[in-house]
Amino acid sequence: MIVAAASELFAARGYRGASVEAIARRSGISPPVVYEHFPSKVELYRELLERHFAELRAVWSRNLAGDDPLAERIARSCDAWFAYVEAHPFAARVLFRDGAGDPEIEPVHREVAERSKAAVMRLFVAEPGAENVAGPADAEGLEMAWVVLRGVLQGLAVWWSEHPAVPRERVVAMAMNSLWIGLERVHRGDVWAPSSR
Amino acid sequence: MIVAAASELFAARGYRGASVEAIARRSGISPPVVYEHFPSKVELYRELLERHFAELRAVWSRNLAGDDPLAERIARSCDAWFAYVEAHPFAARVLFRDGAGDPEIEPVHREVAERSKAAVMRLFVAEPGAENVAGPADAEGLEMAWVVLRGVLQGLAVWWSEHPAVPRERVVAMAMNSLWIGLERVHRGDVWAPSSR
DNA sequence: GACCATACTTAAGGAGGAGTAGGTTGTCAA
DNA sequence: TTGACAACCTACTCCTCCTTAAGTATGGTC
């Protein structure tokens, strides 16, 4: 399976470091066969990203749906998120260890990130109480909230992929402590303000 | 000034994308002159990272010192941090847009990150109430807290460098809302626990 | 004026890797 | 047995880019 081998190698060595030759060899084939399945290296990379992103998004939206209190849904989603990371360590590293900085794949990442942002922001907006975070039509504030969310989840995911001995519950608890408690409080209008300095 | 040109180009095109030729030309010289100042491209990169890191660390520890309440010191540090990012947009992008994924510079980043982690963790431990975050000798918990802190600050810094029109106060407020409020509550022992599900 | 150090240049060495051309093996049908 | 076809491989081309070798202008010194 080419995409599996590619995931592992991209995760381990980065986009530049993983040569098409190496990917082919690990798949038990030779480079030209790769080019019969994908038009170019960067397209192979894009395909890979798309797949992982789609799976992750499915996990996320499946768990966020429902009528339970938001706290439970978020906790469930976090848990499912890290379960996915646990089951697909390469996916997480390819998706999150950025790859920004490389001009060739940066547009690909940006595109996927854009769609993820749109998806999350729709959820934020649909949630009652969201206006306390950002104000009713405040796209900037929502975007920053997404940036924070992403920063925390990505950071923990990458860190965890390098410390697999830590039990998942701990990582989930840390994510919830960092995100939910702060967000919940903000949700109630209990914001930190510069004037309090 | 070679390092200035290198910062800009590394920030704009990444480590691989910024050729030594381009860096030299932007400095108004030719490639061999670069090699009279730095033994190799990767060493130039390291030097650059070291400089930015040292400045950022100085900013951070200067503002965290003092006897005022922790909240004020953290707010001040956040503000100074983003002021630095504002003044040195290239530095921020070089430092944070990771570069992980590239096997050549990954060790360099890792080394700098390690020292930053050590510095921040010393601060955490010195703070009364820290045991609520992580327990007395819980290196894992402290490390995760650092990961979260880094994720949020990096994420916001990179995002802000792409949205320079947003006023600094907003970004600082978002950082404080995300980090401080959650941490403060955890500080008091008011943690989210998996059993609450 | 001849010599030399300094600072820089152009141009080439050499490695690594994406993508391709053309040959080779194996399978199936007649 | 033989021909057609598909799948795959080796080996090559082309290109980028780090690094270095060798040469050239400038300014000071005897």
Test the A interface: residue of B63, B94, B172, B177 with most A CBs within 10 Å: B177
Q: Tell me which of B129 and A6 has the higher pLDDT.
A: A6
Q: Which of A27-36, A176-185, B53-62, B70-79 bottoms out in mean pLDDT, i.e. has the lowest?
A: A176-185
CA-based nearest residue in chain B for residue A143 = B159
pLDDT value of position B127: 64
Task: State, as a whole number of angstroms, the distance between the CA of A102 and the C1' of C20.
Answer: 26
Q: Residue A156 and residue B170: Cβ atoms within 8 Å? A: no
Rg (CA), chain B: 19
- Predicted confidence band at B3 (pLDDT cuts at 50, 70, 90)? very high
More confident residue, A186 or B72: B72
A30 touches strand D (CB under 7 A): yes
pLDDT of residue A136: 45
Indicate the residue type of A187.
H
For residues B99-112, give the mean pLDDT. Answer: 83
Specify whether the CB–CB gap between A166 and B141 falls below 8 A. no
Is A100 close to B98, i.e. CB distance below 8 A?
Answer: yes
> How would residue A140 be classed by pLDDT, with cut points 50, 70 and 90?
confident
pLDDT band at B31 (very low <50, low <70, confident <90, very high): very high
Q: Under an 8 A CB cutoff, do A101 and B102 touch?
A: yes
Mutation target vs A (from B108, B192, B195, B196; most A CBs, 10 A cutoff): B192
pLDDT exceeds 80 at position A123: no
Name the average pLDDT for chain B: 84
Of B180 and B187, the structure prediction assigns the larger pLDDT to B180
Considering only the beta carbons, identify the residue of B97, B153, B155 that sits closest to A101: B97
Protein CA B102 to sugar C1' C13 (Å) = 26
Has residue A19 got a pLDDT over 90? yes
Distances (CA, A) of A28 to A14, A17, A49: 20, 19, 22
**Paired tokens of A28:** 């038990």
Scan for tokens 């880094």, then name that residue.
B150
Angle ∠(B168,B169,B175) on CA atoms, nearest 5: 95
A117 touches chain B (CB under 8 A): no
Of B140, B176, B192, the CB nearest to A181: B192
- pLDDT winner (highest mean) among A124-128, B3-7, B128-132: B3-7
Share of chain B above pLDDT 70, in %: 83
Q: Are B158 and B93 in contact (CB under 8 A)?
A: yes
A153-161 mean pLDDT: 91
The mean pLDDT of chain A is 84
Read off the pLDDT of each residue in B133-153 and give the average, rounded to a whole number.
78
Q: CB of A110 within 8 Å of any CB in chain B? A: no
Whether residue A166 and residue B193 make contact (CB cut-off 8 A), yes or no, is no
The whole-number pLDDT of residue A75 equals: 87
Residue A20 is predicted with a pLDDT of 96
Q: Which of A102, A176, A197 sits opposite B72 (nearest CB)?
A: A197
What integer pLDDT is reported at residue A177 of this predicted model? Answer: 80
Q: Count CB pairs under 8 A between chains A and B.
A: 169
Work out the percent of chain A whose per-residue pLDDT is above 90. Answer: 40
Q: Residue A168, Cβ neighbours under 10 Å: how many?
A: 15
Tell me the pLDDT band of B43, cut-offs 50, 70 and 90.
Answer: very high
Average pLDDT over every residue of A68-94 = 88
State the Rg of chain A over Cα. 19
The listed range with the strongest mean pLDDT (A30-44, A140-154, B170-184) is A30-44
Maximum distance among all alpha carbons in chain B? 64
Note the pLDDT of residue A70: 76
Question: What average pLDDT score do residues A162-167 get?
Answer: 92
How far is CA B5 from each of CA A65, B27, B42, B89, B90, rounded to the nearest angstrom?
Answer: 49, 6, 15, 13, 10
SS3 content of chain A, % helix, strand, coil (to 5): 80, 0, 20
**Out of A53-67, A113-127, A159-173, B5-19, which region has the weakest mean confidence (pLDDT)?**
A113-127
Q: Do the chains contact at A190 and B169, CB–CB below 8 Å?
A: no
Under an 8 A CB cutoff, do B155 and A159 touch? Answer: no
Q: Provide the CA B14 to C1' D3 distance, Å, integer.
A: 55
Q: What is the reported pLDDT for A103?
A: 81
**Burial level of A176, CB count in 10 A (0-12/13-18/19+)?**
buried
User: Is the pLDDT at A170 greater than 80, yes or no?
Assistant: yes
